[in-house]
Structure 1
Amino acid sequence: MLEDLQTPCLLLDESAVRQNIKGMADRFKQIGVPLRPHLKTAKSIDVARILEEHGADRWTVSTLKEAEYFSSHGLKDILYAVSVSPQKMERVMKLNRSGAQMSICLDSTEMANDLSTMTLDGPPPRVYLEVDVDGHRTGVKAGQQRAIDVARILANASNLEFAGVMAHGGGVSYSADSKQELEAAAEQERTHTLAVKGAILEAGLPCPHVSIGSTPTALFGTSFDGVSDVRAGVYVFQDVFQSNLGMCAMEDVAATVLTTVISHAPHLNRIVVDAGGLALSKDRSCATQSNDCGFGFVSDADGHMDPLIYVGGVSQEHGYITTRDGSPLPFELYPLGTQLRILPNHTCMTCAAYDGYHVINGEHEGAWWPRCNGW
């Protein structure tokens, strides 16, 4: 089957996806806290259906196009987890008018005031105050008066429903290099978010929900007391970066790029493939880790990884495979026309280059599962 595919293209190992989803679902069923899977990694209703099979009934997205796509397929309880802006509100309200239950987030009094004075046609959207738990991205810090000010505006707005607080522990956890550091990052995410909830309650304001999550903090958190739901997404596919963190084994990486050897360059000690920077992405997150994969580790078409080689460089449409230790490449093992698979640094970024997945290793082997790309 693979030999008939035009390369580069995206493969999805269904058996690995199912195992990854089941593992996280079973963990949180035992913990007793609902998962709110983040669909930004897969962007696929076919993958979301597997999540539903394991009990998922609420969702996270990173674009309004995702929200529209998944809502059209019947997924209704959706949190748009990127700070909202006024010009996006009509799309949010259109979703609510069509039967979705949209949640949005923000972190400023300015945006809270803007939204509270808008005329919003439809059921009031739920609004979360975003908390910055690790200096990673957006959000208010615990102890800031701004948290109370924003919460008061939202709680008093007649056209909005104040949902509570949310956070993404994606800073400290993604730089951790031990189980203890990951556990500490997860607990920091939980306690900092709960501290903001506590301050809001002390101010005499409601704070119904606490939503936290990232794949590392979800897998390594030792307590989820006080948490309403947990958001995680990359665990569905995994990648080399997550494997290096200890989230999974390399064989759990479900999405890989199928590529073809198109040239040999013995004088440069490299094999050239037709998957370059656009096909693999130029995310080099693993460069911060001891097990650096360059632009991706390499396996044969059957998924057997060669630990000696990696994609050491890319240009737009060319990938340059060489040895990790500088030893001579065994060119005879990789004749022109050979198909290889590349395991990505960051699966979300790599998958974004493709319209869909060629499914392998599962009940739907040979199927095409489309993705929802764009904004």
Structure 2
Amino acid sequence: MTTTPSTTAGTLADPDTPFAVVDVHKALRNIDRLATKADQLGVTLRPHVKTAKSLDVAALMHGAAPNPVTVSTLAEAEAFADGGYTDITYAVGIDPHKLPRVLALLRRGVTLRVLLDSAEQAAFVAEASRRAGIGIPAQIEIDCDGHRGGLKTDDPALLDIGHTLHDAGCLDGVLTHAGESYFAYSAQEQRLAAENERDTAVTAAGKLRAAGLPVATVSVGSTPTAHAAEDLTGVTELRAGTYVFFDLVMAGLGVCRIDDLALSVVVTVIGHRPEYGWIVTDGGWMAMSRDRGTAAQPQDQGYGLVTDLAGARSPAWS
């Protein structure tokens, strides 16, 4: 993870390959596209920095000033706190042994929200808050599409958890993630996923409020739904991460164009097997990605597109 801004930059002809390259102009264009959308929808944009794990890239998002961010590990939270970020959501279900690190960040003046979806989690977060004399801001994860964890809006545990957190001064709000939108192959499907994501989160927040519980944050987001959303009434913040660089999965869904992809890996050819039609490079799948995200899409792009150093595609190679 890049925890301090870099002060030097190489060139694409640097022989010390493999290395990653960010097209700053494309990244800024991508960043501006979603920032403008969030402004139009009247919500706060909370980028997910797990995609880049870089203060340099995060600084591109809203100018140089630290802005609200989402993280997937406490190491990311700590690194961004060291970089001056004080408004962080840790969007992975919390477990007890991580709470000392959470409390350490809270004592530093960082607003670090945790995520949970069970009565057991709510109980140990509430107890830790009472012992420490510090309210640990907690969001209740809501399941909007069966993609991962979270409570259904009609689960009786929703109100029980809400009361447990509120009584300890911990209830911050609700959060959902439309992970199934990564399999929405048309603009209409993506719009419907965005509407369902919004409606699910707003419904959960409404049930908590109807029970007399305050809900400050209603958080939604995935890169496809963030770009497809047309109305986020009742939502307070929008999360997305892939949008900064985009990738071939997003291009395959039509969320972006190939020309919007802002991240590449430069490699050197180190071998040639003409009998197989192969070249061998010094950048394998660990350098590029072990994520074959397009394998299930109509166009399987393998581990990435092949281009020259100027970015011109070489369609004969895969």
Decide which of 217, 220, 223 is 1:209's aligned counterpart: 217
| 8 Å contact kept, 1:126–1:163 | yes
2:89 maps to 1:90: no
Which residues in structure 2 correspond to 1:149-164 (within 5 Å)?
149-157=160-168, 160-164=169-173
Q: Is residue 141–residue 176 contact of structure 2 (8 Å, CA) maintained in 1?
A: yes
The CA distance in 1 between the partners of 2:32 and 2:46, in whole Å, is: 14
One-letter amino acid matched to 1:287: A
Give the one of 9, 15, 20 matched to 1:5. Answer: 15
Aligned with 1:284 (options 285, 292, 300)? 292
Return the offset for 1:304: 0.8
Report the alpha carbon displacement of residue 56 of structure 1 after superposing the two structures with TM.
Answer: 6.9
Summarize the alignment of residues 28-47 of structure 1 with structure 2, pairs less than 5 Å apart. 28-47=38-57
Please give the alpha-carbon distance, in whole angstroms, between the structure 2 residues aligned to 1:252 and 1:207: 37
In the TM superposition, what are the counterparts of 1:11-30 in structure 2 within 5 Å?
Answer: 11-30=21-40
How big is the shift at 1:120?
4.7
Aligned to 1:254: 262
Q: Is 1:77 paired with 2:87?
A: yes
Partner residue, 1:306: 314
Query: Contact 1:183–1:217 at 8 Å: present in 2 too?
Result: yes
Farther-moved stretch of structure 1 (222-231 vs 147-156): 147-156
Residues 83 and 107, structure 1, Cα contact 8 Å, conserved in 2: yes
CA contact (8 A) 2:67 2:87 kept: yes
Q: Which residue of 2 aligns with 1:344?
A: none
Say if 2:272 is the partner of 1:236.
Answer: no
Q: 1:149 to 1:210 in 2, by over 3 A?
A: same
Give the structure 2 partner of residue 363 of structure 1. none
Residue 268 of structure 1 aligns to a residue in which SS?
coil
* Residue number in structure 1 paired with 2:113: 103
Amino acid at match of 1:88: K
> 2:89, 2:114 within 8 Å by CA — same for their partners in 1?
yes
TM-score by length of 1: 0.79
Tell me which amino acid in the other structure corresponds to 1:169: A
- Residue 170 (structure 1) aligned to one of 179, 194, 203: 179
Return 5+ residue gaps in structure 1 as ranges: 311-375
Unpaired runs of 5+ residues, structure 2, are 1-10
CA deviation string 1:336-375 (max 9, x = no partner): xxxxxxxxxxxxxxxxxxxxxxxxxxxxxxxxxxxxxxxx
Q: Which amino acid aligns with 1:211?
A: S
Corresponding residue of 1:121: 132
2:193 alignment partner, one of 169, 181, 185? 185
Residue 82 of structure 1 deviates from its aligned partner by: 0.6
The correspondence for 1:226, drawn from 209, 234, 258, is 234
Deviation of 1:279 after TM superposition, in Å, equals 1.2
RMSD: 1.6
SS of residue matched to 1:303:
coil
> Residues 350-365 of structure 1: matches in 2 within 5 Å?
none
Q: Distance in 1 between matches of 2:219 and 2:20?
A: 32
- Structure 1 residue 281, shift from structure 2 partner: 2.4
Q: How far 1:263 sits from its partner (Å)?
A: 1.6
Structure 2 equivalent of residue 339 of structure 1: none
| Aligned length in residues | 307
What does the per-residue CA deviation read over 1:207-239, in whole Å, with 9 as the maximum and x for residues that have no partner? 222011011110001210000100111101111
Query: Aligned partners of 1:308 and 1:223: how far apart in 2?
Result: 43
State the AA in 1 paired with 2:158: A
Q: 1:65 aligns with which of 42, 66, 75?
A: 75
Name the SS for the 1:207 alignment partner. coil
Offset, 1:79 = 0.5
Per the normalisation by structure 2, the TM-score is: 0.92
- Is this contact kept in 2: 1:107–1:139, CA < 8 A? yes
